[in-house]
Every structure is written in structure tokens, then in C-alpha cells.
């Protein structure tokens, strides 16, 4: 929120941040599995955007730029592993996977998503939560479209292998081609 | 009734995240983080206080965007912060900059840490941790650590892989040869040896993911984007090595004719390898390739690419032929073309400096152990050519005082 002494630049940046913060936090939470880490990730992304705000030429490209920072920072979390913070309750389950059918009311697939390799998890979140296209996902993560496709395919195969009761085999091939 | 997988996946992702409507970040908190980011990029020694200096980063380094230059952040108060530009190193006619570390200014402590051999400790800005005895390799893994250490047990390979808690107290150990960990510290792959049975295993901090038999003298080199592992196998009889990418279900060979792997990028899948070596002349040539299609990204006989940056856009390199003392040069190359973006060199110095190890501190900053004038230190190197010390220079003569936990594992 702009206050006394806020420059027009800061007011413009604040407006963008307020409009996008909640959405980015939700995506960051799915990427990291932890709300504290998600806040840290998004704060860093906004900070780097703030540093480069004067160079923004195309307002429509800001979302893509912030996603790229988010993806890059998510890959750099190993640098901040030194910070010993208490994790939120949404942590990776003790067992990486289980085949018990949850009747559709639980979070079986979410638990399995958290066990995916980081890159595969990011592809899953951007493709199936943010509904980005393969090209937009590739741009956000700094990888090729081909890698997006292979990552998504392998991630779905992994989920399918570990949670067979959730599948309807007749719909599998059509959805993978989407 | 079972739903389709991706429909259920979408539903559960939204169920998991959509109830979070909080907006805890404020402009002040973001500005504070921005100042912190600027401070970690540049420190001016000798000043009474840390000053914020403008940093110009080539736009290609920022993930292809044009939003390259950092903006100086004014304080909230009425008085502007005095800006002090750092002294950039003088570029020689050949484009290199001096590799001079003893006169480099002192910089911020590095969160990545470095090992002090004499004290057997890991040092970071937050303090020091004692290492398990004989530690040869150490990486962050989940909430704790994973590493390799030498062991005197004659019944195993001479090395063991250990897991340790956050305070580096060993919790589990097994005979192993070779260990790689992904950048996030959430995946590890290692080779276990049980008698004459060699196995490649991979897992997360919580559990092992898969395991598969491998040939003797196989070592993991690094991860690919899909979690598969790049392997190198040495045939002791022929002295030749073979290479493959394995994922627990299949192993796909690549790189026929290459001599040795140097590094991998888990972001771009690129692999760096020694392609040829002319012993009498001492000429070595390297190639960076994509193992999936066995296609070449670039070749070089000028540099030895040894470590890809976290985002895969850069690769740190030594001089193409370096002896056991170290490399008289250190370069940061464009990982797509092999062109040097910055090249530190001792030039024709009478007592040249030499670089022993290099690791990435972040997407565009390297840490390196460097010896000059009989003293070794750890330095931070930036794309603009500046160097700053992050460890006290220590007299070493022909030995070493420091090593970097993030440096590529020695496969020799």
C-alpha cells in the first residue's frame, strides 16, 4: 500500500505486488511444500523484480519475468538451507508413497507430487496448477519445450505407478497429449 | 469410480493451495530484501560502512530477459545513500584480468561454506561445524548432510557414505564409491559395493527411490533434469571409460570415444567431457554435449569446463591443461558457446597463482581455492572480473588449506 513519501515508482510496484502476491505465494507453496519457504521465495522474487523495475519495458512480460526468477530461486534454495527454520505442518510424508486408495477425499496425489524431483515437480505445478502452456513452462524454468514434455510424461508415469487406484486407464493417453 | 489422473491432479493441487489467501509481504519487507541482495553482491573494503554500489549484469545472464541492471535502492529517509563504485580490474590486451588474490579485498562470508583442513571444520557466516573424521565430500541433504569419507576398514572399498544430522553427527553409514547430490539437496545417487556386487542407488532424504546393478568401477557424475544419473565406468584392464545415463529401469550409453567426464548440468542436461589428450604436447580438448541426443554443444581446446552454474547458462573452466599444482587460469564461460565471459589469468607473472577448485555460490558468482606466493585462500569471483577474499590466506607451500564442499567430486 502506497503511503506518505512513496514515489510513483514504488506505488506502481506496490500495485503489481499486491495484485499478484497471493497467486505467486500459492504457486510457490506447491513448488516448495512449505509456506514459510514459499514466502521467502516470493519475497526474493519480488526483491529482484524491484531492483530491475526501471528496466521494465513491457508490462505484459512482468509475470513471465517473475516466474523465471521464482523458478531460478527455487533451484537455488540449497544456498539457504543453512537457515534452520521451523517447517510448517505441510511437510513431506514419512513414507514417500503408498498405494492405498483414498476414496477421492484425501491428498494422495499431492503427497506423491512432493516426492518428485524438483524439476519434475515444478513442471507439474506450472502445467497442472498454473495451467501454463508447454512453451510458457519452458520459459519460466529456463528449459526446452522437449524437456517440459519429457518431465511431464515421466512425472505422470511416476504418479501412475505409485497410485494405480486413482487411474482411469481409458483417459490416460488423451490427457498426456494435452 | 476412479477419475482420470490429471483431472485428479489438478483438483488436488487446487485443494492444497487455493485456501491460502494471505498477503504477508509488504513493500518495506521487499525493499529490505532487495538491499540485502545488493549487499551480498558487492562490499567495499576499508569503508566505514557497507555501501550499496550499482551492479551491471549482462542481460543474457538473467534468464534471457532484458531486465539486467540492478537499481540502486534509496533509503526511506530524506538523505540519499552515498554510492561508491568498486574498482574493476584492469583488462589486459588479451582480454584476461589479473589473477591476484592476496591483494583482493575481503568480502562477506559465504553461506556456501568452505572446509578448513587443519581444523577439520566447515566454516560459514553462521559459524563452524566439526566434520566427521576423514570427510572427503560433503553436501547438504534434506535437513542434514550426506557425504563420503575415507575409512580404514579393509573389508570395504576404503570409502563410506554417511548421513548426518544438521550438526554433522553421523547417523548412518555404508560402504560406497561415489556420491552426487542435486543442487537442492533433495536427491542423491551413490554406488554401493558389497563384495563383488556393485549397485547404483538413488533416493531422497526420506527414502531410497531405486537401485540397480552396475559394472565394477562405476561412479555417478551428476543428475539430469528427469532425475536420471550420468555414470562413468572405468575398465581397469583397458584403461578406457564408458558412459551412460541410468534411471533404475534402463541404462542408455552415450559419448563413445570420450576419455573422461568432467561435469553435468541438472538443468540443461549438458555434460562436459575430456575428448582428446596429446600427452607429449600436453594438449587437451574438451567437449560439452547433450547425452540424450549425443549432440555437441561446443568444443574447446582452450578451457577445461569443470562446473556448470546452477541455472546451466554458465560453466566454470580451468586452463585446458593444468597440472597437479593447479590451473593458472580460471574462466566463466557461456555454456551455450564456450566463449569466455571473464578470464582470470596469472599472465606472465614470475610467481603465478594457481586455482585448485571452483564451485558456484549462486547463478553468476563462483568460489575458488587459489594459491599465490605460497599462500592459499578462498575467493569469490564475479562476472565483472572482481575478486574478493572470503577466507584468510594461509601458508601452504605445496599442500592445501581449504576445500570447497560444493566443488565437483574428484573422480580420480
* Interface predicted TM-score (ipTM): 0.77
Burial of A84 (0-12, 13-18, 19+ CB in 10 A): exposed
How many angstroms away from the CA of A44 is the closest CA of chain B? 7
Would strands B354-362 and B340-345 be described as parallel, antiparallel, or unpaired?
Answer: unpaired
Highest mean pLDDT among A157-171, B5-19, B62-76: B5-19
The torsion region of residue B316 among left (phi > 0), alpha (psi -120 to 50) and beta comes to beta
The distance of Cα B67 from the centroid of its chain, to the nearest Å, equals: 25
Q: B219 vs B31, B56, B241, B286, B292, CA distance in Å?
A: 45, 40, 11, 20, 19
Structure confidence by residue, pLDDT tens digits, B200-212: 999 998 888 899 9
pLDDT in tens, B144-182: 999 988 876 555 557 888 999 988 999 888 888 889 999
The Cβ of residue B90 has, within 10 Å, a number of other Cβ atoms equal to: 8
How many angstroms separate the CA atoms of A136 and A133, rounded?
Answer: 5
Would you call A167 and B5 a contact, using CB atoms and an 8 Å cutoff?
A: yes
For residue B244, pLDDT over 60 is answered with yes
Query: Sign of torsion, CA A8 A13 A16 A17?
Result: negative
pLDDT at A52: 82
Cell of residue B123, nine digits? 566454516
Cell of A158: 511416476
Which of A113, A159, A132 minimizes the C-alpha distance to A23?
A: A132
- pLDDT at B348 (0 to 100): 66
**Closest CA of chain A from B208, distance in Å:** 9
C-alpha B370/C-alpha B123 separation (Å) is 17
A175 burial level (CB within 10 Å; 0-12, 13-18, 19+): middle
What tens digit of pLDDT does each residue of B79-120 get? 333 333 346 788 888 888 999 999 899 988 888 899 999 899
Taking CA atoms, B272 is separated from B63, B294, B335, B346, in Å, by 21, 12, 10, 25
The pLDDT assigned to B283 comes to 78
Tell me the pLDDT tens digit for each residue of A58-85.
767 788 888 888 887 776 543 333 333 3
Select the more confidently predicted residue: B146 or B400: B146
Which residues in chain A are closer than 8 Å to B184, comparing Cβ atoms? 74-75, 77-78, 118
How far is residue B175's CA from residue B156's CA, in Å, rounded to a whole number?
A: 6
Residue-level pLDDT at A88: 31
Measured between beta carbons, the chain B residues lying within 8 angstroms of A75 are 183-184, 267, 310-311
Which residue has 573452466 as its cell numbers? Answer: B317
What is the structure's pLDDT at B397?
Answer: 67
Are A65 and B65 in contact (CB < 8 Å)?
yes
| CB-nearest partner of B17 from A26, A94, A165 | A26
CB B58 within 8 A of CB B68: yes
Q: Are strands B340-345 and B97-98 parallel, antiparallel or unpaired?
A: parallel
Task: Provide the pLDDT for residue B157.
Answer: 59
Relative to beta strand B197-203, strand B188-194 is: antiparallel
pTM for the structure as a whole: 0.58
Give the whole-angstrom CA distance, residue B2 versus residue A168: 6
Give the nearest partner residue to A75 out of B62, B70, B310, using CB atoms.
Answer: B310
What is the arithmetic mean of pLDDT over B268-282? 84
Q: Which of A45, A55, A165 to mutate to test the interface with B (most CBs of B within 10 A)?
A: A55
Name the percent of chain B lying above pLDDT 90.
46
User: Helix crossing, A118-128 with A62-75: angle to 10°?
Assistant: 150
Amino acid at each position: 500500500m502506497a503511503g506518505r513519501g512513496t514515489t510513483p515508482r514504488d506505488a506502481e510496484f506496490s500495485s503489481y505486488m499486491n495484485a499478484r502476491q497471493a497467486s505467486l505465494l500459492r504457486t510457490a507453496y506447491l513448488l516448495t511444500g512449505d509456506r514459510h519457504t514459499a514466502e521467502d521465495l516470493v519475497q526474493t522474487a519480488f526483491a529482484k523484480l524491484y531492483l530491475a523495475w526501471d528496466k521494465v519495458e513491457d508490462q505484459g512480460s512482468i509475470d513471465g519475468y517473475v516466474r523465471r526468477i521464482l523458478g531460478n530461486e527455487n533451484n537455488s534454495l540449497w544456498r539457504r538451507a543453512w537457515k534452520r527454520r521451523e517447517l510448517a505442518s505441510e511437510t513431506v510424508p514419512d513414507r514417500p508413497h503408498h498405494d492405498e486408495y483414498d476414496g477421492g477425499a484425501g491428498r494422495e496425489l499431492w503427497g506423491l507430487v512432493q516426492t518428485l524431483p524438483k524439476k519434475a515437480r515444478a513442471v507439474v505445478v506450472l502445467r497442472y496448477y498454473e495451467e501454463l502452456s508447454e512453451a510458457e513452462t519452458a520459459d519460466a524454468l529456463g528449459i526446452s519445450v522437449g524437456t517440459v514434455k519429457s518431465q511431464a510424461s515421466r512425472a505422470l508415469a511416476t504418479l501412475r505407478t505409485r497410485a494405480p487406484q486413482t487411474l482411469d486407464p481409458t483417459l490416460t493417453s488423451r490427457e498426456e497429449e494435452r | 469410480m476412479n477419475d482420470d489422473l490429471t483431472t485428479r491432479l489438478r483438483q488436488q493441487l487446487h485443494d492444497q493451495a487455493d485456501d491460502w489467501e494471505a498477503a504477508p509481504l509488504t513493500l518495506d519487507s521487499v525493499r529490505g530484501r532487495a538491499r540485502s541482495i545488493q549487499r551480498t553482491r558487492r562490499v567495499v573494503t576499508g569503508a566505514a560502512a557497507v555501501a550499496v554500489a550499482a551492479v551491471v549484469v549482462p542481460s543474457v545472464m538473467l534468464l534471457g530477459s532484458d531486465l539486467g541492471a540492478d537499481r540502486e535502492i534509496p533509503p526511506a529517509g530524506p538523505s540519499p545513500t552515498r554510492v561508491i563504485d568498486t574498482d574493476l580490474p584492469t583488462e589486459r590486451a588479451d582480454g584476461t584480468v589479473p589473477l591476484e588474490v592476496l591483494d583482493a579485498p575481503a568480502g562477506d562470508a559465504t553461506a556456501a561454506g568452505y572446509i578448513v583442513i587443519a581444523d577439520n571444520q566447515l566454516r560459514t557466516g553462521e559459524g563452524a561445524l566439526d566434520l566427521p573424521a576423514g570427510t572427503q565430500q560433503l553436501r547438504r541433504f534434506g535437513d542434514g548432510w550426506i557425504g563420503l569419507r575415507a575409512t580404514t576398514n579393509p573389508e570395504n572399498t576404503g570409502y563410506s557414505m554417511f548421513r548426518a544430522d544438521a550438526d554433522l553427527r553421523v547417523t548412518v553409514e555404508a560402504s560406497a564409491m561415489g556420491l552426487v547430490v542435486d543442487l537442492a539437496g533433495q536427491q542423491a545417487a551413490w554406488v554401493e559395493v558389497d563384495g563383488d556386487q556393485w549397485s547404483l542407488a538413488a533416493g531422497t532424504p526420506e527414502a531410497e527411490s531405486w537401485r540397480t546393478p552396475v559394472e565394477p568401477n562405476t561412479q555417478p557424475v551428476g543428475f539430469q533434469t528427469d532425475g536420471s544419473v550420468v555414470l562413468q565406468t572405468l575398465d581397469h584392464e583397458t584403461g578406457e571409460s564408458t558412459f551412460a545415463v541410468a534411471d533404475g529401469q534402463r541404462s542408455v550409453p552415450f559419448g563413445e570415444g570420450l576419455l573422461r567426464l568432467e561435469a553435468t548440468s541438472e538443468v540443461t542436461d549438458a555434460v562436459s567431457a575430456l575428448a582428446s589428450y596429446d600427452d607429449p604436447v600436453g594438449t587437451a580438448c574438451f567437449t560439452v554435449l547433450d547425452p540424450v541426443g549425443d549432440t555437441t554443444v561446443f568444443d574447446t581446446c582452450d578451457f577445461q569446463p569443470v562446473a556448470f552454474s546452477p541455472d546451466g547458462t554458465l560453466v566454470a573452466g580451468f586452463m585446458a591443461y593444468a597440472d597437479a599444482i593447479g590451473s593458472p587460469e580460471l574462466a566463466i564461460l557461456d555454456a551455450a558457446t564456450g566463449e569466455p565471459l571473464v578470464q582470470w589469468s596469472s599472465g606472465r607473472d614470475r610467481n603465478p597463482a594457481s586455482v585448485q577448485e571452483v564451485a558456484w555460490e549462486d547463478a553468476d558468482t563462483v568460489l575458488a581455492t587459489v594459491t599465490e606466493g605460497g599462500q592459499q585462500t578462498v575467493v569469490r569471483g564475479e562476472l565483472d572480473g572482481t575478486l574478493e577474499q572470503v577466507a584468510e590466506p594461509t601458508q601452504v607451500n605445496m599442500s592445501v588449506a581449504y576445500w570447497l564442499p560444493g566443488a565437483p567430486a574428484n573422480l580420480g
